[in-house]
Amino acid sequence: MFSSKAIPIHDNSIKEFINAREIHLNKIYAPQVFVKQHREWIKNTTFRLVGLDSFKYGYVTAGVTEAFNEVYRERCYVLNGEYSYHKDIGIPISNYKDIPFGSRLIISYPFAATGNPHEDWNDIIQHCITWGIDVFVDACLAGVSLGKLDLTHSCITHVAFSFSKAFNTGHIRCGVVYTTEPYSSPASVTNKHFYLNHSSMLLHLDLMNKFTSDWIFQKYRINQIKLCEEHNLTQSDCVLFGLDNNKRNCLSRLLETLQSYHSQQ
């Protein structure tokens, strides 16, 4: 019945809005203007961000997955249960206590395996500060989750967001990566030369103007709780998931069915 994948919800309101948009193949949009709007849009009281203003540099990317290229040239590690793309690309899985001094940890928040913060999050951050390990935070689930992400820790150098889970636009990829580092990087170069998917940027600008960054969470949270109770699952902080022994089960298709049913009442 359930999938272990993180499948976005096919929300009819968003789908209809996207289908009504025209694609402007020759229209160019400045990435710095897009990033400025995203900085304001991503703020909400459902998933609070603390310290994002100190991340001075922001760049448009083709989702969070492309944003990893900002640090993949470094010696990177991920934790067990993380986004499987890292494993496929050859990034080693490690216990956080075994990550070498001066390396890089890529970690999702909320954590990919559960949609909740990693159970050792505080210890992980303290360990990274002590051992000089830089941290890249993958916040792709921020738009569909409840929580608070504190970015003020000195070890965190990057945080990346995408629209895929909030708007089901994973095949029209778009996202933003923020960093405290003023160095040349793949995203800084593509943004400098405007080598970006401008049609996707324009679509997501329209979506940001129409829908809040917590639209999906607010719309589907009550039904997520009901489904978890019905199927003896523990509700995740991420609205897409119910947890069975701390393993995620994606509820998206059932949430869509419930929403469609209620819309017909």
Does 98 map to a domain?
A: yes
- What are the pLDDT digits (tens) for 191-240? 999 999 999 999 999 999 999 999 999 999 999 999 999 999 999 999 99
Instruction: Tally the domains of the chain.
Output: 1
Does 1 map to a domain?
A: no
When pLDDT is averaged across residues 44-53 and rounded to a whole number, the result is 98
Does 6 map to a domain?
A: no
pTM of structure: 0.93
Does 145 map to a domain?
A: yes
**What's the rounded Cα separation, in Å, for the pair 162 and 143?**
8
Q: Which long-range contacts (CB under 8 A, 24 or more apart) does 179-185 make?
A: 179/55, 179/56, 179/57, 179/58, 179/59, 179/70, 180/54, 180/55, 180/56, 180/57, 180/156, 181/57, 181/157, 182/56, 182/57, 185/59, 185/70
- What are the pLDDT digits (tens) for 11-26? 999 989 988 887 777 7
- What are the pLDDT digits (tens) for 77-102? 999 999 999 999 999 999 999 999 99
Which two tokens mark 115?
A: 């949609």
CATH number for the domain that contains residue 184: 3.40.640.10
Which two tokens mark 90?
A: 């050859």
Does 4 map to a domain?
A: no
Segment (H or E) for 67? helix 63-67
Does 248 map to a domain?
A: no
Does 176 map to a domain?
A: yes
* Domain interval for residue 125: 23-210
**What's the rounded Cα separation, in Å, for the pair 104 and 74?**
7
Does 82 map to a domain?
A: yes
- What are the pLDDT digits (tens) for 232-264? 999 999 999 999 999 999 999 999 988 644 444
Query: Please, are residues 175 and 16 in contact by the beta-carbon 8 Å criterion?
Result: no
